[in-house]
Structure 1
Amino acid sequence: MNHTLTVIIPVYNEQDNLERVQKEMQAYIEIALVPTQVLFVNDGSKDNSQQMIEKICCSNTDFHYILLDKNYGLSAALKAGFDTIRTSLTGYMDADLQTTPQDFNVLLKHIENNDLVTGERTSRKDSFIKNTSSKIANGIRRAFTHDGMDDTGCPLKIIKTEYAQRIPMFRGLHRFLPAMVLLQNGHIKQVPVSHFERIAGRGNFGVWNRLIGPLVDCFAYLWMKKKYINYKIRKQG
């Protein structure tokens, strides 16, 4: 099958979630608006995630994986996925299943006229501290980037692959994907999506890297924005 969309699912010690991820992605592939496949990016997990991933991929041709040699962090995992994908559209979803792959169809309805479509978790099922720190972090990023996104950290996105592969990734840049598409003169849009409680595994981000990390990364983004090279080829012979 010629696929149109590849969904990147970064994995770091998510063995308790992977069976559910397989079932939910298989169910979504059956109803997806475009032919869809899955790419697990194992970011150096120390549990049994890799064994489970290989078992899943061996039993289903729509599932693939890459295994990084050690833990590099979410931005590196996304970059590795971007560099590997050959489909015209790239999706992104976390393995914790706090968002549902069913909502990729909601995003797909808007991707034709946009270059990135991201979810907005309008009714988040997180703790008060997590919700508050995320709101503050989103406000800080919005003030620096002027991207107009209310929930840029939502882990449910679809990007046109040509834009994703031109993003010069650095650590922490996963928080700035909409802003980096804007630097390419692309069009972005956010749409409401569902959100659920995490029922298995542990989150990898705390208050520190939801607040202090994004603030530091904002200055890195401003430096990149100033230095960013954007061009279009007018004619080629």
Structure 2
Amino acid sequence: MSPETSIVVPVYNEEGAAAALAREIAAAFDGRDYEMIFVNDASRDATLAELEALKAELPRLRVLTHKSNAGQSRAVRTGVLAARGPIVVTMDGDGQNPPADAPKLADALKAAPGEVALVGGRRAKRQDSAAKRYASRWANGIRKKLLNDQADDTGCGLKAFRRESFLLLPYFDHMHRYLPALMIREGYQVRFEDVGHRPRTTGASKYTNLGRLWAAFSDLAGVMWLRSRARNPGGAVEV
């Protein structure tokens, strides 16, 4: 039988963080009908070995692994394609998203009307460097103004969405940062909830401000083009 909720976590070189995060997710969803899917994006450290060793302890844990590194968005998509639940919750693999907040987003989406396809997390007290917080605030402001996606913090990895809605979206690298805009493009509504945020205690960030800025220009232009080419029929009725 399919679970109610699938938690999808992309991981890349998160040795020391992935196993602890999986245990936290299991504790947060204890007593619920769920599965968790960790997608190893061809890590070069012991991430995969740690997750495989954990499967006996956590029977709801599924581990998928890419043969080649393909990036966070592809890892999320791999997890969603494999998910068996109608509600998918994503979170970053570095442990900065507190798993305790994940059930709240899933419950908010389940209680929402069908036209709401996504409930995104909004980091209330972000625990990152001042430079990273400033760059994120600047980028979020530009993106929100140009795309009108209602999102103050689209970079937050903690999101809950309807699996069937996600699978209607066009795939491209870094699409995980544009999920609110892409959902709205398909005619859905999006909502947001405040969530916690923690300092990174293991490993290193896979992104830099300069790298994000370079990708953001082309991605933003692409999403603006996608929005300009959208034609929504307002639904379809079989006659």
Verify same fold: TM over 0.5: yes
Q: Specify the alignment match of 2:237 in structure 1.
A: 234
Q: Specify the alignment match of 2:3 in structure 1.
A: 3
Q: CA separation of 1:13/1:117 partners in 2, compared to 1, >3 Å: closer, same or farther?
A: same
Offset at residue 230 of structure 1 (A): 4.9
Give the whole-Å Cα distance in 1 for the aligned partners of 2:227 and 2:41: 28
Q: Specify the alignment match of 1:164 in structure 2.
A: 166
Q: Report the TM-score, using the length of structure 1 for normalisation.
A: 0.93
Give the whole-Å Cα distance in 2 for the aligned partners of 1:17 and 1:50: 12
Q: CA RMSD for the aligned pairs?
A: 1.6
Given the alignment, which residue of 80, 89, 109 partners 2:78? 80
Contact 2:29–2:103 (8 Å) recurs in 1:
no
* Correspondence 1:174 to 2:172: no
Moved over 6 A (4+): none
Give the whole-Å Cα distance in 1 for the aligned partners of 2:66 and 2:56: 19
Q: Percent identity?
A: 29
Give the whole-Å Cα distance in 2 for the aligned partners of 1:125 and 1:17: 17
Q: Which amino acid aligns with 1:28?
A: A
Q: Which stretches in structure 2 are left out of the alignment for 5+ residues? A: none
Q: Which secondary structure state, in structure 1, belongs to the residue aligned with residue 149 of structure 2? A: coil
* Correspondence 1:148 to 2:150: yes
Offset at residue 123 of structure 1 (A): 0.8
Q: Report the TM-score, using the length of structure 2 for normalisation.
A: 0.92
Contact 1:91–1:156 (8 Å) recurs in 2:
yes
Contact 2:2–2:84 (8 Å) recurs in 1:
no
Q: Specify the alignment match of 1:29 in structure 2.
A: 29
Q: Specify the alignment match of 1:200 in structure 2.
A: 202
Q: Which secondary structure state, in structure 1, belongs to the residue aligned with residue 146 of structure 2? A: helix
Q: Which amino acid aligns with 1:73?
A: G
Offset at residue 60 of structure 1 (A): 2.3
User: Could you report, residue by residue, the CA deviation over 1:13-42 in whole angstroms, capped at 9, with x for unpaired residues?
Assistant: 0011022112201211215xx412100111
Q: Which secondary structure state, in structure 2, belongs to the residue aligned with residue 110 of structure 1? A: helix
Contact 1:122–1:192 (8 Å) recurs in 2:
yes
Q: Which secondary structure state, in structure 1, belongs to the residue aligned with residue 70 of structure 2? A: coil
Contact 2:34–2:85 (8 Å) recurs in 1:
no
Q: Which amino acid aligns with 2:50?
A: M
Given the alignment, which residue of 39, 43, 46 partners 1:45? 43
Q: Which amino acid aligns with 1:21?
A: L
